[in-house]
């Protein structure tokens, strides 16, 4: 999968830019606050219609402008597609090959990206909601059916919570049963994904760190021991019954997939409390590499990799190990950094270099160590 070109108008601090990225590595260098991350964000939004940074549409549109636009041509296998995204404060519109799409899922698989940014390391230290958000987004990227399951679960959850707030709770048992059925499907798909990811995680952690620690990711929903959907559904009914008094007391559903958490471990010890900052950053990046492998197995081609500010996120050894590993892969990569490092360029076999300053991109040419 390759992004052949991207055109951006009135997005963040970009007024109007048009670039043709290199096939392999693309290094975007410049001082902080110049727009390097904005370009990665634009690529990510083009494939998902959502940002990995902000949930407010007005934040995405250049100050003083009413409309922003991102469009690009994507090459995938033997086919190509054109995506155009129009951003307005009231909403967004997406065209795929000149035709308006009605659902986000219509974009699924057209431009797959995996992003690693400084904010991602917060998954380790922050609360369960951050890790659930990561998990749900990652599962959906490779499983289009998950979006429906997730929305269905949350629709039923909202109905059940509304009923819990009322004096007359007639029908609560029916909504509880529906929630268990929908929740079992969410958990099953999450379990399947984490199992696949865990088998890939250790390999990538060892490659990047150069060490021998055993990395693992664990998903154990409360009250769930089974592995099939029917068993999980029955276990969720027992769980909801167990929490029934608390649900009525707090007028909300206090247990279920919407409260689950992921556990990150190194050598069977919690990464959050015992892992160093370097180990935590390496762990999250290894997760992203595992995502790439998973997506490549599904689509028979790798996604586009977006690496934000790796100079500050990884030490020299880890950065060198990562780049040597990526150089062996056939994937298009965008890397932001504060300076055009000769060492960074030497670590890659083919590299297009862009200087970013005040929302403008200047192409500095292709460099190769071959």
pLDDT tens digit sequence for 25-48? 999 999 999 999 999 999 999 999
pLDDT-derived band at 347, boundaries 50, 70, 90: low
Of the candidate ranges 125-129, 141-145, 208-212, 353-357, the one whose mean pLDDT is the lowest: 208-212
Question: Which residue segments constitute the domains of the chain, with CATH numbers given?
Answer: 1-112+303-370 (3.40.50.300)
Is the pLDDT at 321 greater than 70? The verdict is yes
Residue 257, pLDDT score: 97
Q: What whole-number distance in Å separates Cα of residue 66 and Cα of residue 59? A: 11
Helix ranges (H only) for 251-355 are 271-274, 277-299, 310-313, 316-327, 342-346
- With beta carbons less than 8 A apart as the criterion, state whether 4 and 10 touch: no
How far apart (Å, rounded) are the C-alpha atoms in residues 121 and 162?
35
pLDDT for residue 313 is more than 90? no
Mean pLDDT of 330-339: 89
The whole-number pLDDT of residue 304 equals 96
Q: Are strands 262-266 and 215-219 parallel, antiparallel or unpaired?
A: antiparallel
Average pLDDT value for residue range 232-241: 98
Please say whether the beta carbons of 243 and 204 come within 8 A: no
Rounded distance between C-alpha atoms, residue 126 and residue 226, angstroms: 28
> What pLDDT is attached to residue 348?
63
pLDDT value of residue 120: 87
d(CA 198, CA 221): 16
Could you please report the per-residue DSSP string of 27-75?
EEE--TTSSHHHHHHHHHHHHHSS-SS---HHHHBPTT-SEEEEEEEEE
In sequence order, the β-bridge partners of residue 366 are 352
Tokens 């935590």, located at residue: 280
327 confidence band (pLDDT: 50, 70, 90)? confident
CA dist 253 to 21, 149, 174, 231, Å?
Answer: 48, 18, 14, 21
- Give percent of the chain above pLDDT 70: 96
Which residues are registered as beta bridge partners of 8? 17, 70
Cβ contacts of 160-163, under 8 Å, gap ≥ 24: 160/253, 161/251, 161/252, 161/253
Phi-psi label, residue 79: left if phi above 0, alpha if psi -120 to 50, beta otherwise: beta
Three-state DSSP class for residue 81: strand
The string of pLDDT tens digits covering residues 160-198 is 999 999 999 999 999 999 999 999 999 999 999 999 999
Q: Which pLDDT band holds residue 370 (cuts at 50, 70, 90)?
A: very low
Place of tokens 């549109």: 61
**91-95, 232-236, 327-331, 359-363: which range is least confident on average?**
327-331
pLDDT tops 90 at residue 342? no
Quote the longest CA-to-CA distance of the chain.
74
Mean pLDDT of 242-246: 97
pLDDT category, 153, cuts 50, 70, 90?
very high
Task: State pLDDT tens for residues 51-79.
Answer: 988 778 899 999 999 999 999 999 998 89
Dist. CA 332–CA 352, nearest whole Å: 11
Angle value at C-alpha 231, between 227 and 234, nearest 5 degrees: 140
Please report the pLDDT score of residue 341 as a whole number.
66
Instruction: Tell me what the mean pLDDT of segment 277-290 comes to.
Output: 91
Whole-number pLDDT of residue 311: 72
Residue tagged 């929305």 (tokens): 151
Measured from the Cβ of residue 358, the count of other Cβ atoms closer than 10 Å reads 11
User: Element (H or E) spanning 80, and its range?
Assistant: strand 79-88
């Amino acid at each position: 999968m390759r992004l052949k070109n991207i055109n951006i108008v009135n997005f963040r601090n970009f007024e109007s830019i048009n670039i043709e990225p290199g096939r392999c590595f693309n290094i975007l260098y410049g001082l902080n606050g110049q727009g390097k991350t904005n370009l990665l964000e634009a690529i990510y939004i083009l494939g998902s219609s959502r940002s990995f940074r902000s949930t407010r549409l007005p934040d995405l549109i250049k100050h003083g402008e009413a409309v922003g636009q991102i469009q690009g041509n994507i090459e995938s296998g033997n086919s190509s597609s054109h995506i155009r995204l129009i951003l307005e404060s009231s909403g967004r519109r997406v065209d795929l090959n000149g035709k308006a799409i009605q659902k986000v899922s219509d974009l699924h698989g057209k431009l797959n990206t995996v992003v690693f940014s400084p904010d991602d390391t917060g998954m380790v230290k922050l609360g369960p909601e951050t890790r659930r958000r990561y998990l749900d987004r990652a599962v959906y990227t490779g499983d289009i059916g998950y979006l429906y399951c997730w929305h269905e679960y949350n629709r039923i959850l909202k109905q059940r919570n509304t009923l819990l707030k009322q004096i007359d709770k007639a029908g609560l048992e029916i909504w509880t049963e529906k929630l268990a059925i929908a929740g079992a499907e969410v958990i099953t798909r999450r379990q399947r994904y984490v199992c696949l990811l865990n088998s890939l995680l250790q390999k990538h952690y060892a490659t990047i760190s150069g060490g021998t620690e055993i990395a693992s990711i664990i998903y154990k929903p409360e009250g769930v021991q089974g592995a099939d959907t029917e068993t999980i559904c029955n276990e969720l009914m027992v769980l909801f019954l167990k929490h029934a008094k608390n649900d009525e007391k707090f007028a909300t559903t206090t247990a279920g997939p919407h409260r689950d958490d992921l556990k990150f471990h190194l050598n069977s010890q919690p990464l959050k409390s015992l892992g160093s900052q370097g180990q935590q950053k390496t762990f999250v990046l290894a997760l992203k590499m595992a995502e790439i492998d998973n997506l490549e197995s599904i689509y028979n081609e790798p996604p586009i990799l977006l690496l934000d500010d790796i100079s500050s996120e990884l030490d020299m050894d880890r950065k060198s190990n990562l780049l040597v590993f990526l150089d062996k892969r056939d994937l298009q990569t965008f890397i932001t950094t504060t300076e055009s490092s000769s060492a960074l360029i030497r670590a890659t076999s083919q590299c297009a270099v862009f200087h970013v300053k005040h929302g403008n991109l200047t192409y500095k040419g292709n460099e190769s160590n071959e």
